[in-house]
């Protein structure tokens, strides 16, 4: 049984940067340390941060002192501005620069009096931040079906940005349909390079191997996307959070295995899963 691991499996640059900003400075950071939402959508990484004394909060009210960590997904610039003015509160902003870029574009399009459209998942923290950058005036849709339901005004100018972890191929197809329906639109395909690489690799692996393993959390948008892409090409695709979830029966009569992991999956989990697969093989 052959095993192939995707070249770019695991942490992307934005996640590495966010973790380094916290872990390299943990001793110097003013306590108590609170994190608004999860730094990255991976339970194992969060456990490691909680063990360092960091608390996860889901509301920004009542935060008056200590340190507040803004996660890699970013928050609305206006909310950030308000927090920065709060005396005695130290902000550690780990927003990925690629997400900041999308926020800047949304803000610019809004200032140019264009109706901002966001191709993204409405409940995702990144998308809420991008919407905030467009003064909460953006229209969000996450599929062609939802796009068709939008009431368009052809007298308006439109501008579109994309959540950094959306499916690149899906968006390419949708982009044509958007241009057919909207005459005056400026489109920025802001799916990040890390997402594109991981999606393109999983497509190749899914075609090449008998069985695919996608490692990561079900709460992670980018990992879920890898799973959906792989599953659509090769039904023998399994989503596992850790090696504990592997089942020996999956590997019966399989000659080759492809393995990849989301941008929020740590190396130590990938190694643990690979080790377990090797044990099953032997």
Minimum distance, C-beta of residue 3 to ligand F3S, in the bound complex (Å): 25
Query: Which is closer to ligand F3S, CB of 257 or CB of 270?
Result: 270
Minimum distance, C-beta of residue 145 to ligand F3S, in the bound complex (Å): 25
Minimum distance, C-beta of residue 269 to ligand F3S, in the bound complex (Å): 17
Minimum distance, C-beta of residue 18 to ligand F3S, in the bound complex (Å): 7
Sign of the C-alpha dihedral computed for residues 67, 69, 75 and 77 taken in this order: positive
Minimum distance, C-beta of residue 260 to ligand F3S, in the bound complex (Å): 14
Helix H or strand E segment including 160: strand 158-162
User: Are the CB atoms for 158 and 184 separated by under 8 Å?
Assistant: yes
What gap in Å lies between CA 133 and CA 45, rounded to an integer? 28
CB proximity list for 99: less than 8 A, separation 6 or greater: 14, 72, 73, 74, 126, 129, 130, 164
Query: Which is closer to ligand F3S, CB of 8 or CB of 230?
Result: 8
Q: What is the CA radius of gyration of the chain?
A: 20
Query: Which is closer to ligand F3S, CB of 190 or CB of 237?
Result: 190
Query: Which is closer to ligand F3S, CB of 160 or CB of 257?
Result: 160
User: Are the CB atoms for 15 and 264 separated by under 8 Å?
Assistant: yes
What gap in Å lies between CA 241 and CA 162, rounded to an integer? 27
Minimum distance, C-beta of residue 179 to ligand F3S, in the bound complex (Å): 25
Q: Which of 4, 23, 81, 126 is catalytic?
A: 126
Closest C-alpha among 130, 65, 49, 47 to residue 95: 130
Unique residue bearing structure tokens 């926020």: 103
What gap in Å lies between CA 119 and CA 141, rounded to an integer? 5
The residue of the chain with the least Cβ separation from ligand F3S equals 14
- Catalytic (active site) residue 180: no
Query: Which is closer to ligand F3S, CB of 13 or CB of 251?
Result: 13
What gap in Å lies between CA 180 and CA 164, rounded to an integer? 23
Q: Which residues are near ligand F3S by CB under 6 A?
A: 12-15, 72, 96, 98-99, 164-165, 192, 194-195, 222, 263
User: Are the CB atoms for 232 and 169 separated by under 8 Å?
Assistant: no
Phi/psi at 157 (5° precision): -100, 145
Query: Which is closer to ligand F3S, CB of 17 or CB of 208?
Result: 17
CA 114 to chain centre: 26
Active site residues: 126
């Amino acid at each position: 049984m052959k095993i192939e691991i995707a070249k770019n499996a695991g942490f992307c640059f934005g996640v590495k940067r966010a973790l380094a900003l916290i872990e390299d400075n943990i001793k110097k950071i003013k306590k108590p340390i609170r994190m608004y939402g999860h730094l990255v959508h991976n339970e194992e990484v969060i456990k490691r941060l909680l063990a360092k004394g960091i608390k996860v909060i889901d509301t920004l009210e009542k935060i008056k002192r200590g340190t507040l960590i803004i996660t890699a997904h970013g928050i609305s610039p206006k909310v950030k501005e308000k927090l920065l003015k709060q005396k005695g509160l130290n902000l550690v902003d780990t927003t990925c620069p690629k997400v900041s870029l999308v926020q800047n574009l949304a803000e610019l399009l809004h200032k140019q009096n264009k109706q901002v459209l966001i191709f993204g998942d409405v409940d995702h923290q990144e998308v809420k931040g991008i919407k905030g950058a467009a003064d909460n005036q953006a229209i969000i849709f996450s599929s062609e079906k939802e796009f068709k339901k939008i009431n368009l005004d052809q007298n308006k100018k439109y501008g579109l940005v994309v959540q950094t972890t959306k499916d690149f191929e899906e968006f390419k197809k949708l982009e044509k349909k958007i241009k057919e329906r909207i005459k005056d639109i400026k489109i920025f395909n802001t799916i990040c390079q890390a997402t594109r690489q991981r999606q393109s690799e999983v497509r190749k692996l899914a075609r090449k191997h008998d069985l695919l393993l996608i490692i990561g959390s079900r709460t992670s948008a980018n990992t879920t996307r890898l799973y959906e892409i792989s599953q659509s090409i090769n039904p023998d695709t399994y989503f596992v959070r850790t090696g504990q979830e592997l089942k020996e029966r999956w590997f019966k009569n399989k000659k080759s295995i492809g393995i990849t992991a989301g941008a929020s999956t740590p190396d130590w989990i990938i190694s643990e899963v690979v080790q377990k697969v090797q044990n099953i093989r032997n």
